[in-house]
Amino acid sequence: MQFAVNKTDDGKLLRAFLRECGVSAALLARLKRREGGILLNGAPVTVRAVLHAGDTVELALEDGAGESSVVPRDLPLDVLLKTEDFAVLNKPCDMPTHPSHGHFEDTLANALAYHFSTPQQPYRPRFINRLDRNTTGAVLVASHALAAAVLSRAMAAGEIEKEYLALVHGALTAPRRIEGGIRRREESIIFREVCPVGEGEYALTLAEPLAWNDHFTLVRLCPQTGRTHQLRVHMASIGHPLLGDDLYGRADGFPRHALHAVTLAFPAPKTGERIRVFAPIPADMLQKIEELGKEAVLLAKQESEAH
């Protein structure tokens, strides 16, 4: 990973410059021990080096071959955007984000390890956001430790915006602000439920209906927090569970819970530039949206395309 030294950084010690770029003390220590870990204008230096405008700082952030246990598998991978620091993928339905019990070789992580690894360097995905197995849409993954640290801090600071499109039961005709606690139901390891503010984990969702009929609504969901099953729990709590959500709603013929992560907006790890990525609406949801009419289809496509 390379950094250009600007006029505002002229005269700074390399150590201070790297800390301002998001390099943690632990990562800095690892880089100092690694041969060629820190280069200034192509030459090894100590962190006490003084920088000058026009210099180039290069960090060897590659992971060692033994640091990733993800098995590479030749699975479909829809890449929406890729740089040396991160990638945004359009996750399909019925694919877990990362390996877990019963899913060790059929996940997005396995696909990334296959498509992004090289003979010299295995790819170790570091997920910044995660989606349920049957939720589709945009997933952000950091390609190295520094990008992961910077993006994780951005997520914690609320600097990463996430928008979803969902299909929910009933006619939701006005925007809703859904606020309260979410906790795991005591007798279950999966099921979540709403609870009063002050109990469980605080959660806030903004819901805006885009089109509806008497049976279901196309809604834009903007989570302001990131709790497990937050959108599914919140919509069910106001009487509008997601279509196809047999955990918080009911079996209704839709093949999965109708939820798609349509937009991710985040600061680039290196420059801070605001990046916005759109994930096209999947075919199963688009087919259902067609029942709401042409204007609804147009709205859904506008939500999922750069504009």
User: Which residues belong to the active site?
Assistant: 132
* Residue 45, both tokens: 């230096």
Q: Helices H, strands E: what count in the chain?
A: 7, 15
Q: Is 67 exposed, middle or buried (0-12, 13-18, 19+ CB in 10 A)?
A: exposed
Closest-CA residue to 243 (of 190, 200, 285): 285
Q: Judging by DSSP bridges, how do beta strands 136-142 and 259-267 pair with one another? A: parallel
Pull the structure tokens for residue 138: 């945009």
Q: Which whole-number Å values give the CA distances from 28 to 15, 151, 258, in the listed order?
A: 8, 17, 43
d(CA 27, CA 125): 17
Distance of alpha carbon 128 from alpha carbon 153, whole angstroms: 10
